[in-house]
């Protein structure tokens, strides 16, 4: 009974951490604040697909 709850909490915390990382990464790469917020919200709502799409469309830093 405790394992599903812990798994649920772990996955939600992981989702939040990845969303914050993507937001900060978008800001560091020089994207607008609006784009960064869209990335944050998209990753919170669609975690796996949102991360894949973000990694494909993000600007190269170098």
Do 53 and 42 meet the contact criterion of CB atoms below 8 Å apart? yes
Q: What is the pTM of this model?
A: 0.86
Do 33 and 27 meet the contact criterion of CB atoms below 8 Å apart? yes
Instruction: Domain ranges for the chain, please list them.
Output: 2-57
How many Å apart are CA 55 and CA 40, to the nearest integer?
13
Residue 50 pLDDT exceeds 60:
yes
What per-residue confidence (pLDDT) applies to 12? 97
Alpha-carbon Rg for the chain in angstroms: 13
What per-residue confidence (pLDDT) applies to 60? 79
The overall average pLDDT reported for the chain is: 93
Whether the CA torsion 31, 26, 43, 17 is positive or negative: it is: negative
What per-residue confidence (pLDDT) applies to 53? 94
């Amino acid at each position: 009974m405790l394992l599903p709850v812990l798994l649920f909490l772990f996955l939600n915390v992981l989702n939040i951490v990845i969303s914050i990382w993507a937001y900060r990464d978008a800001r560091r790469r020089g994207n607008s604040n609006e784009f960064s917020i869209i990335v944050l919200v998209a990753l919170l709502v669609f975690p796996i697909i949102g991360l894949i799409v973000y990694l494909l469309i993000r600007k190269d830093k170098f």
